[in-house]
Amino acid sequence: MEKTYYRKRIRWLTIIIGLSIALLFTVLFALMTGVMGPIGNGIPGIDKISFRAVFEILLGKGNWPDTYKTIILKIRLPRIILAGLVGSALAVAGCAMQGLFRNPMASPYILGASSGAAFGASLVIVLGLSIFGIYTMQLSAFIFAVQAVFVVYNIARCKGRTPVETLLLAGIAVGCFFSALVSFMKYISGEELRSIVFWLMGGFWSATWDKVYAIFPLIILGVGVLLFFSKALNIMLTGESTAMHLGIEVENMKRIVLIFSTLITAAAVSVSGIIGFVGLIIPHVMRIIVGPDHRILLPSSCITGAIFLILADTLTRSIIEPTELPVGIVTALLGAPFFLYLLRRKKKVKWW
Amino acid sequence: MVVKIRVENVSFNYDSIKALENITFEIDKNILGIIGPNGSGKTTLLKCISSILKPVTGTILLDNNELSTLNRKEIAKIIGVVPQTANITFPLTVIDIVLMGRNPHKKRLEFETEKDIRIAENSLKATGIHHLANRLITELSGGELQKVIVARALAQEPKILLLDEPTAHLDIHYQLEILEFIRNLNAEKKLTVISVFHDLNLAARFCDKLILLNDGKIYSIGNTDEVLIAENIRNVYKVNVKIEKHPVTGRPNVILISPVNNGDSYV
């Protein structure tokens, strides 16, 4: 039996190392790929920057044209890191929510974070606010996302307990309320309608290093804290009262998991808009592949979420040149069929 | 090391409905059965003792420690709970589930050590399901699953075992097997056992002492043969019974006769 356990840990380590290597290659591939327009060696359209060029520019060596350096270091790299962070955050938050609620339909947006953020962003767009400079919209989206979940949590709280059913229902109701407000904003907007619609579809076209710096600490902290709870999330799968019998402070844990899931979701949404699918499906895909134990499920979802969103974003900026698709469209168009394929193939195994 | 439980004047309400009223008793090293009709407060009492519910008034003492001053991990090191049914619908292996019983003894990020695995294996051996260790929990029968849950409670190395109709959904073979096993535990490991029963004959067979609850109050408490008398059953359950000595075990055996109709006079 100790041997089986030893083997399991080796297997987990192999999965994590394998996925990390895959992530590294995804990043390099994404750095090489994309539209360069007229500066691409005089050839308009797609032009790959060679692997060697990417590698040497990252290390600050070699004699490559400044345009290359600008494209790699100022345009693509922050965008790729941002997509990776957002993908990780959404996948981990989704995984934690599904575990906490013991509900396969749960996603990072289930408690109204996305609708809150959408309202926050559209409010700024329509009113043309710029109290906090160019990042007013991001800040407003973040604040409203957190505040929506805060409202939901306090509505669902009763006599020191927060039943998950009430949380889910309150989340749906508050989400509908904010969605209606967003619709109202769209209705009264004129020229800005296009901006709102684009923001709602989600994307990384305005990625900057500033945004990376802003969300990096939040997401690393949040993901770290949630990983800390992986064993407790396993035990929560056996039901709340059983979890109490096994020594889990259930209400405490619920609060902490919700706070940090919400923080990373809000951080992700504030810089990228509402990217669906990643937070719902990546945890399911990983559950099929690595199993339901959160000690491997959370970290592997984290890495896979990053890989998936970086690939999807790379596709959005190279598929229709010279423009690009909103990444939310690509994630669902690619991810849904793949997920359905896995679902059919593993039909015999009850994985939830 | 036997832990003595003392329940003092415990009352509990669900909103305005009184569920328990001034329950007082004391138990160590015995098997205590809690019996009573539906809605008499059996499960509520068990939940108060396992600290899922907090009594409105009164205190519960484990030796000299008040239950409400202990945190969940400390309680889980003393009290193991076997619920009526375990609803586990995701494919973890049996050994994973049993190892969850080690949680109260572990720090948050700490992996299981060889010692934990040994303890989990011993509980699987004790319940006779060591061969299932690497099977998925979703593939087991109801009886096997309940044994896994008992093994998980044992892996906690508790001093007190609480059971809520542990054999309610099992066939007669598993019923007797699991209860015999628990009685052996009580004898060998000096484990205090408190269990809720619906089946009066199972209660009669396995319990040293009984509490008969009626409307949230203790109607009768004492040795099994003192509590399990026809008059008590008739007054509380509204059923006419005849109680005989079981020809083989020598324990009281309840033979059901008929429900008491409203027209009948009470004895």
How sure is the predictor about A152, in pLDDT bands with cuts at 50, 70 and 90? Answer: very high
Give the highest mean pLDDT range of A58-72, A212-226, B136-150, B242-256.
Answer: A212-226
Question: Which residues in chain B are closer than 8 Å to A292, comparing Cβ atoms?
Answer: 90-92
**Within a domain: residue A180?**
yes
**CA pair distance B148, B171, nearest whole angstrom:** 16
In a domain, A77, yes or no: no
Asked if B114 and B39 touch (Cβ cutoff 8 Å), the reply is no
In a domain, A27, yes or no: no
Q: So what's the pLDDT on residue A351?
A: 47
Nearest in space to B135 (alpha carbons), one of B101, B96, B174, B103:
B96
Q: For residue B34, report the phi and psi dihedrals to the nearest 5 degrees.
A: -110, 120
Nearest CA in chain B to A8: B96
Q: Which domain holds residue A210?
A: 82-344
Residue A207 lies in a domain: yes
Distance, in angstroms, between A309 CA and closest chain B CA?
Answer: 28
Tallying the residues shown for chain B, one arrives at 267
Residue contact A350–B89, C-beta within 8 A = yes
Output b/e per residue, B182-204; b: 16+ Cβ within 10 A.
Answer: bbebbeeeebbbbbbbeebbbbb
Distance of CA A254 to the CA centre of its chain: 20
Chain B contacts to A (CB-CB under 8 A): 47, 50-52, 71-73, 75-77, 79-81, 83, 86-92, 95-97, 100-101, 103-104, 106, 108-109, 111-112, 114, 117, 121, 133-134, 138, 152, 156
Whether the pLDDT of residue A166 is over 60: the answer is yes
pLDDT tens by residue, A10-27: 999 999 999 999 999 999
Is A75 part of a structural domain of the chain? no
Q: Which residues of A touch B112 (CB under 8 A)?
A: 5
For chain A, what is the domain count?
1
- pLDDT of A352 reads 46
All residues of chain B having their beta carbon less than 8 Å from the beta carbon of residue A231 are 103, 106, 108-109
Contact flag B103-A238 (C-beta cutoff 8 Å): no
Walk along chain B (267 residues) in steps of 10 and give the mean pLDDT of each run.
88 89 90 93 93 92 90 93 82 91 86 88 90 90 90 93 88 89 88 92 92 94 92 93 90 90 59
Q: Is residue A351 part of a domain?
A: no
State percent of chain A over pLDDT 90: 57
Looking at the domain assignment, is residue A101 inside a domain?
yes
- CATH value at residue A125: 1.10.3470.10
Q: Tell whether A65 is covered by a domain.
A: no
Residue A271: Cβ-neighbour burial (10 angstroms; 0-12, 13-18, 19+) = buried
* Average pLDDT of the segment spanning A265-276: 93
- For B88, which of A1, A4, A238 is closest by C-beta distance? A238
pTM for the model stands at 0.89
Residue in A234, A239, A249 nearest the CB of B72: A249
Q: What is the pLDDT of residue A46?
A: 47
Of the pLDDT bands very low, low, confident and very high (cuts 50, 70, 90), residue A49 is confident
Using the predicted structure, report yes or no on whether residue A209 has a pLDDT greater than 70.
Answer: yes
CB contact under 8 A, B109 and A231: yes
CB A182 within 8 A of CB A119: yes
- Those residues whose C-beta lies under 8 Å from the C-beta of residue B140, and which sit 6 or more positions away, are B94, B132, B148
User: Which residues of chain B have a CB within 8 Å of the CB of A249?
Assistant: 71-72
CB A227 within 8 A of CB A261: no
**At CA A253, angle to CA A252 and CA A256, rounded to 5?**
90
Could you tell me the pLDDT band of residue A48, with boundaries at 50, 70 and 90?
A: low
Using CB atoms, which residue from A2, A228, A352 is nearest to B114?
A2
Phi first, then psi: give them for residue B80, nearest 5 degrees: -105, 140
Instruction: Give the residue from B153, B147, B143, B119 showing the smallest Cα distance to B50.
Output: B153
Q: Which residue in B103, B148, B160 has the most chain A C-beta atoms within 10 A of its own C-beta, making it the best mutation to test that interface?
A: B103
Q: Specify the range with the lowest mean pLDDT, choosing from A296-300, A338-342, B9-13.
A: A338-342
ipTM: 0.88
pLDDT at A45 over 70: no
Average pLDDT over residues A153-171: 90
Give mean pLDDT, residues A72-98: 95
Q: Which residues of B touch A248 (CB under 8 A)?
A: 72, 103
Please, are residues B165 and B132 in contact by the beta-carbon 8 Å criterion?
A: no
pLDDT of residue A109: 92
Candidate from A5, A245, A292 with C-beta closest to B92: A292
Quickly state the pLDDT bin for A41 (edges 50, 70, 90). very low
Average pLDDT score over chain A: 88
Single out the residue of B149, B154, B150 nearest to residue B119, CA to CA.
Answer: B154
Judge: B101–A246 Cβ closer than 8 Å, yes or no: yes
From chain A, pick out residues whose CB is under 8 angstroms from the CB of B117. 1-2, 5
- What letter would DSSP give residue A128? T
The string of pLDDT tens digits covering residues A302-325 is 999 999 999 999 988 887 766 788
Count the Cβ atoms, other than its own, within 10 Å of residue B152: 29
Q: Which helix (H) or strand (E) holds B162?
A: strand B160-164
Confidence check: pLDDT of A347 > 70? no
Partners of residue B86 in chain A, C-beta under 8 Å? 238-239, 242
Number of inter-chain CB pairs under 8 A, A vs B:
83
Residue with tokens 């989340």, as numbered in its chain:
A171
Question: Please, what's the largest Cα pairwise distance for chain A?
Answer: 69
The helix-helix angle for A193-201 and A164-188 (nearest 10°) equals 150
Q: What is the pLDDT of residue A219?
A: 96
